[in-house]
Structure 1
Amino acid sequence: MEKPIIEFINYIRQYSTLSNEAENAIVALARNETLAKGSILNKEGKTCKRLYFLKSGTVRTYFYQDGKDITHWIYPKNNMVTSWYSYLSQTPSKDYIETTEISEVISLTYTQWQELYTTFPELERFGRLLIEEQMALLDDFYKGYYFLSAKEKYQLLIKAIPNITQIANLGHIASMLGISQETLSRARK
């Protein structure tokens, strides 16, 4: 088994014990890619068909509002990445998924995951726990988004993504927090 796939299998094992059969099924279906900086994994208007494991690199999701690029979330390595609503509902996306540096991803399609969930209960458990974790993280972050000060928002983001300042530019971080870069500079002090 290739090292990137082993890392993906180990990531899944954090959520659920895997049978050899489930591991072999994942290995047979998984697509491993190295992507250049600026690669678009999905864009507005297209249904997101793949769930990605970000083995290395950084990915950002963003959308356009009044012609302005707004960062929705920044994903560091060792995370699952997709346009969540589009992927889960299999409807057109409202956002873009883009690599912000050379990145290695391992992915399976929505249909492949559904078949794996049906065949292997331990993978269905993985899927459920992953979604629960994502929902809790985003719920906590975005509740704070509406009533916290800029400094408190920044601290909440650091709690969610401790290395955010090493993997994302300040413009994207400020956009994600809904504040100006100047306000972000003050909040970081």
Structure 2
Amino acid sequence: MIDKPIIEFINYIQQYTLLSKEAVNAISSLVLYETLEKGTLLNKEGKTCKRLYFLKSGSLRTYFYQNGKDITHWVYPENNVITSWHSYITQTPSKDYIEIITPSEVISLTYDQWQELYTKFPELERFGRLLIEKELALIDDFYKGYYFLSAKEKYELLVTAIPNITQIANLGHIASMLGISQETLSRVRK
């Protein structure tokens, strides 16, 4: 019997590709399921990110430090796959942090486990490709016009990408993500 959180992860994958029973069983036998508290770091600068995470519930953010200042790069709501993308894909040390910002349930597999699964189950390789395409399209759409947008337009773009952003992230993280002050964010939201 497969646990409910793992079934939700399997269902997420099956949005991209149908899985054989053997693939489902292989994934189920390898996944790590964790309940994590706010403030937990999944990865940090200088550490190679070895896991791809599925955020079943809760929220997290990716951030980095620039001139000693904490800069939020992105906030992820539940039902998303997250990692330190550059570090994970290239298996090199990360330049950012992944932090749980609300109590969360996370399911993960290692880079090596995914590589083995891709070899054994071509449908999972399709999942990996489609997932990366989706992430690349989101990043491209968000950042293409980002540098030319007003603070209000940046906020509207963010709310389009993550409609519940104000429920899952604090205003400081949102302002940092948009590259604006909290005061400007407060004016924009009014």
TM-score by length of 1: 0.99
Whichever residue aligns with residue 123 of structure 1, its letter is: L
Q: What is the DSSP-based 3-state SS (H/G/I as helix, E as strand, rest coil) of the residue aligned with 1:102?
A: strand
How much has 1:173 moved relative to structure 2? 0.2
Distance, in Å, in 2 between the alignment partners of 1:159 and 1:8 is 24
In structure 2, the residue matched to 1:3 is 4
- The residue aligned with 2:38 is 37
| Aligned equivalents of 1:65, 1:29: Cα separation in 2 | 36
The one-letter code of the counterpart of 1:22 is A
Q: Helix, strand or coil for the counterpart of 2:183?
A: helix
Amino acid at match of 1:134: E
Matched residue, 1:24: 25
Shift of 1:101: 1.3
Q: How many residues align?
A: 189
Q: Residue type matched to 1:49 in 2?
A: K
Map 1:81-120 to 2 at 5 A: 81-120=82-121
CA distance in 2, matches of 1:19, 1:94: 37
Instruction: Provide the C-alpha distance between the structure 2 equivalents of 1:154 and 1:7, rounded to a whole number of angstroms.
Output: 31
Unaligned runs of 5+ in 2: none
Deviations 1:38-77 (A, max 9, x none): 0000000000000000001101000000000000000000
Deviation at 1:142, TM superposition (A): 1.2
Ranges of 4+ aligned residues in structure 1 off by more than 2 Å = none
Query: What is the CA–CA distance in structure 2 between the aligned matches of 1:188 and 1:135, rounded to whole Å?
Result: 28
RMSD of aligned alpha carbons: 0.6
In 1: Cα distance, 2:146 partner to 2:95 partner: 20
Q: CA deviation at 1:144?
A: 2.2
Alpha-carbon offset, residue 110 of structure 1:
0.3
Q: Percent identity?
A: 79
